[in-house]
Amino acid sequence: MKLSGGRVDAYLKAPDPSHVGALFFGPDQGLCAERAGILAQAFCQNPDDPFAATSLNADDLTGDPARLVDEMSALSLLGDARLIHIRLSHERGGAAIAKTITMLDGNLDRCAAKLIIEAGDLSPRSAVRKCFEKARNFAAIPCYADTIASLNGLVKSELAAQNIRIEQEALEAFVPLLQGDRRMARSEIDKLALYMGENTCVGFEDIKAVAAGAGAAGLDDIVFDTLGGRPQKADGGYQRALAGKITSHSILAALQRHLTRLHQAKSLMGAGQSANEAMGNLRPPVFIMQKTGFANHLHIWSELALARALSESLATEKRMKTTGAPAQAILGRLLLALSNYAQKRTR
């Protein structure tokens, strides 16, 4: 049975008593894990108890296809409901799993345990996905990335539970940073709530201070000044960072991350997307406060120049680790070269 939309939440709150298992699949692995955890609590009193729950992976079943039948048929030593939890990282044994599920679906008397499978983004042709969708007593539950609207609701409800309000401007800046993975989204919301404390109101500056992608302001300033063609500012920021005990390796890593994201955005633009679309399709998307600077970098740097800059950054990293020369000086020369190149492109 395939479930989607609002039916999923209702099912997780009160699963069909005739059902003996469910498959969670889709691109949002955080949401798969979250939903699987909720259903595990409904299926089993204590899903963390090793006597009540058995965890398997794809390799366990590939090496022993009959094990799933054995585990599903085994009675609990304590007489409680047992849970079989499988994390399916590949489908090399998919045909055998599908055959087992189909057999169990027609022979519920052989099911002494409940089953939960967490999988990745299975295609419609997947044998495992198809057998769960066709089954009467097993559910197939897709887990797709949250929409802006659903994330708005999640942020508001989670913060409200701790008596924290959030201004609309702050909400609009925060939500795009949470797209793609429910687990990451909850982690960022928890981090924001911890930063704010109870009975507070989140403003735009608070998001800028703690949100993912916006926290390392010092590193970002160095990177943006370097690639934006402001050598004096870049060098000043670099010297202050070193004085503040930020390592040159951390600064280089930030530079490489930014160059990689620029290169990805340029590739999307080469495929026909606008700069705004490309920035929005990065994961995480470009932070709202950085969009102007990021767009400026896309204008300055060609895809070929970004590829060369990335290559030179890797060569610099190797020199920093192997030559014995001061890493600060080696990285400083790279930052100066990149910022001078960008400065010439802006004239």
pLDDT, position 217: 53
What percentage of the chain has pLDDT greater than the value 70?
A: 96
Question: pLDDT tens digits, residue range 308-334?
Answer: 999 999 999 999 988 888 999 999 999
Rounded distance between C-alpha atoms, residue 219 and residue 231, angstroms: 15
Q: Which CATH architecture has domain 6-142?
A: 3-Layer(aba) Sandwich (3.40)
The neighbour count for residue 211, using CB atoms within 10 Å, is: 23
Fold annotation for 217-346 = Zinc Finger, Delta Prime; domain 3 (1.20.272)
Residue 214: its pLDDT value, please? 45
CA 342, CA 11: separation in Å to the nearest integer? 55
Q: Which two tokens stand for residue 39?
A: 């259903």
Residue 4 carries which DSSP code? -
pTM of the shown model: 0.60
Q: What Cα–Cα distance (Å) separates residue 12 from each residue in 21, 42, 106?
A: 12, 8, 23
Look at residue 275 in the predicted model and tell me its pLDDT. Answer: 94
Cα–Cα nearest to 286, from 307, 264, 306, 271: 264
Q: Which portions of the chain are predicted below pLDDT 70?
A: 76-80, 211-217
Measured in whole angstroms, how far is the alpha carbon of residue 143 from the centre of its chain?
A: 13
Q: What is the pLDDT of residues 229-276, one digit of tens each?
A: 999 999 999 998 888 778 898 899 889 989 999 999 999 999 999 999
State how far the Cα of 332 lies from the Cα of 168, in Å rounded to an integer: 41
51, with CB counted inside 10 A (0-12, 13-18, 19+), is exposed
Question: For residue 219, what are the CA distances in angstroms to 216, 246, 320, 332?
Answer: 6, 9, 18, 14
Outline where DSSP puts E strands in the chain. 21-25, 53-57, 82-88, 113-119, 138-142, 164-166, 200-202
pLDDT at 301: 96
Q: Does domain 148-210 have CATH number 1.10.8.60?
A: yes
pLDDT at res. 315: 93
DSSP string for residues in 27-49: S-HHHHHHHHHHHHHHH-S-TT-
Same-fold call for 6-142 versus 148-210: no
**Domain locations along the chain:** 6-142, 148-210, 217-346
Q: Which residues of 265-298 are buried (b: 16+ CB within 10 A; e: fewer)?
A: bbebbeeeeebeebbbebebbbbbbbeebbbbbb
Neighbours of 26 (CB within 10 A): 17
**Residue-level pLDDT at 79:** 60
Q: What angle do CA 73, 77, 78 make, to 5 degrees?
A: 120
